[in-house]
Structure 1
Amino acid sequence: MSGHRTGDRLVIGVWRETAPGETRVALTPAAVRRLTDHGLDVTVETGAGERAGFADRHFRAAGARIAADAGAVAAAADIVAWVKTPAFALSGDRLRPGTTLIGFQDPHQRRERIDALAEHGIRSIAFESVPRTAATAAYDALTPMSRVAGGVAYAAARALLPAATRKRPIRSLVLGFGAAGRAALAAALAAGDTPPTVVAARRETEPTALAAGAHACVTAAGPAAIRALIPEVGPDIVLCAALHRGEPAPLLLDDAALGLLAPGSVVVDLAAKAGGNCSATRRDTTRTLPNGVVVTHRSNYPAARPSEASHAYAAAATAMILRLVAGSEPPTVNRN
């Protein structure tokens, strides 16, 4: 891969996040320093890190150039890193052929846009397509973001419960025991709530869930098993986090199951971008069903902890960039 400047230094660009409510930044000053130490140039849009606590002067001190706007970043960069897909339109007019875009790409919703960019020679690398393995841990951004999201989502669901319910230990049902499910379990225990019941896809997960403090772990459960479980658990919160990367989310909480929940209970669905675990989920929407059950989703739960989340995200983005520069082939949306 070769840069656009004189010589062979590649330019990494960072846009200011424009998705609604987004506070993270794709690269922190520490990440910029790591990249410049590897012989790369970094151009950061002015104000990109403000909402995460990083001023332009921090990026300059780390060796970055500050650009006036997103267009100036695009004109300079070989690789552009973001957290979430920009709110402005991406096109071959804004981006030069040969540019590589790294970040969460939302491939389930943006497939046509990603394919159109590819036709202009613009490659999209999706963190959603990185498998969760020991070998990919360094550039796996989804796991640390899911970890932050699980804790934030549990707290958000708890805040939506009626005041009278919050006066007692909360009962919860956690669907899925990946990074988000584990974090939700930890958040429930930290709040002094009743140890949650966990639903996991594999039987071998049970010892891990119980060791982490779950009251019980039910494995290989589908919608019918969830319906049978609800009267037993009596959950105030159902946290949906059952998802396999690159696949549609399994429907676990159907209309019949929602009808079994008590009025005022809250369902928070972290799998909404992949279709959702709950039949009543609407992306980035909080809604109250006719029976009084609240169903909520936000696509940027980690934005509630912008500094922590930015550091974790930037570490993965930096590792991905260095892997790409070294010539290793990362997951590419255009082919997955």
Structure 2
Amino acid sequence: MIVGVLRETAPRESRVALTPEGVRELSAVGLQVVVEEGAGHRAGFTDSAYRASGALVVGDRATVFERSGIVAWVKPPAFALETMPLRAGTMLVGFQDPHYRRDEIDRLRGRGVGSVAFDLVPRDDTTTEIDALSTMSRIAGAVGYAEGRHLLSARSRPVRALILGCGAAGLAAIAAARTFDDDKPTAVGNRLEQQTAALDAGAGRFVANQDDNAALLDLLATTPFDIIVCTAVHRGSRAPRLLEQGALDLLAPGTVIVDLVAKAGGNCVATVPDTTVTLPSGVIVTHRSNYPTSRPRTASRAYSAATAAMILRIANGRN
């Protein structure tokens, strides 16, 4: 079986789906790897490093598709997949943006081309396999908090943060707040059993919020927050709308909202994907789709480990 690795074409994307270490792992079990020229350059991995790891480096993406039974990427390509020599039986592995690309994924399936969406792969705490979405979410939570904090105006007191969601990204955002010596954040989750993880990550308080958002609205009405990081989403589902206009009306001018889940619909009604907007009230709402790309080498290594694990699972299933 041959595995192909593409050079990323999504805007501002600097990660790579498989590092030279990942190539060596796959080569050790007899899999061949074809890498598009320059695939790892932006993450600090040279073509010569891929060749030394056992990969064949080729000059164009069409050759990757032509030779490979599995093609790995980080984000869906910016080019039309229909222009590539896709064969029935090919498997496309990576984030797939299924909320926005469902029709394309269905068309490919109709041609016998499968898609493994890291966006939808269930988290399994009973195995040692690395979960791409969780690892990227942890990086996004930390980077998102830091970038949101930089948007704040000067504060004469420690920053007060509110973290919506207590998954991997939310817990990472809580931990990031402590690195800035900010006040211990307030964490909001939808299950009481999340409280222990939130407090262990560094939260000073946990609030359980239900579907009516009454607890969150009471919190916003009584406590001033400088930064709100939105991370609440169930894997494979649309993000719950937690910050409607009524909630935004409770926020002071200059409050920064970082919505990490805009790709799933967003927690905030005012979120515009890949955009920073200032509302008439002075509240700032920001999102970008690739926070982990700010740490391309670290993120690529974590992503590569998840990619290699998934490819080995696919390969073992076919053998």
TM-score, normalised to structure 1, is: 0.92
Which residue does the alignment assign to 1:292?
282
Which residue does the alignment assign to 1:226?
216
**Which of 72, 75, 82 is residue 66 of structure 2 equivalent to?**
75
**Hey, what's the Cα distance between the residues in 1 that align with 2:159 and 2:37?**
44
Sequence identity percentage:
56
Which runs of at least 4 in structure 1 moved beyond 6 Å after TM superposition?
none
1:152 matched to 2:143: yes
Which residue does the alignment assign to 1:204?
193
Give per-residue Cα distances to partners, 1:118-160, cap 9 Å, x unaligned. Answer: 1111101101111112245514200000000000000010011
Which residue does the alignment assign to 2:159?
170
**Hey, what's the Cα distance between the residues in 1 that align with 2:224 and 2:132?**
34
Which residue does the alignment assign to 1:189?
178
**Hey, what's the Cα distance between the residues in 1 that align with 2:318 and 2:69?**
16
1:208: how far off? 2.4
Question: Structure 2 matches for 1:97-116, cutoff 5 A?
Answer: 97-116=88-107
Which secondary structure state, in structure 2, belongs to the residue aligned with residue 284 of structure 1? Answer: coil
1:136/1:220 CA distance change after superposition, 3 Å: farther
1:251/1:262 CA distance change after superposition, 3 Å: same
**What are the ranges of 5 or more consecutive residues in structure 2 without an aligned counterpart?**
none
* One-letter code aligned to 2:112: G
* One-letter code aligned to 1:180: A
* One-letter code aligned to 1:84: K
Which residue does the alignment assign to 1:84?
75
Give per-residue Cα distances to partners, 1:70-115, cap 9 Å, x unaligned. Answer: 1111111110000000100112753122110000000011000000
Contact 1:60 1:66 in 2 (8 A): yes
Which residue does the alignment assign to 1:277?
267
Which residue does the alignment assign to 1:56?
47
**Hey, what's the Cα distance between the residues in 2 that align with 1:80 and 1:254?**
40
Give per-residue Cα distances to partners, 1:246-289, cap 9 Å, x unaligned. Answer: 11111111111111111111101111111111111111111111
1:213 matched to 2:202: yes
**Which of 289, 295, 316 is residue 305 of structure 1 equivalent to?**
295
Contact 1:223 1:251 in 2 (8 A): no
1:171: how far off? 0.6
Contact 1:92 1:117 in 2 (8 A): no
> RMSD over aligned Cα, in angstroms?
1.4
**What are the ranges of 5 or more consecutive residues in structure 1 without an aligned counterpart?**
1-9, 330-336
**Which of 306, 309, 318 is residue 319 of structure 1 equivalent to?**
309
Which secondary structure state, in structure 1, belongs to the residue aligned with residue 206 of structure 2? Answer: strand
Give per-residue Cα distances to partners, 1:162-216, cap 9 Å, x unaligned. Answer: 1x22x53211100001110010001000110011000011111112222322111
**Hey, what's the Cα distance between the residues in 2 that align with 1:116 and 1:309?**
31
Contact 1:268 1:295 in 2 (8 A): yes
TM-score, normalised to structure 2, is: 0.97
1:46/1:117 CA distance change after superposition, 3 Å: same
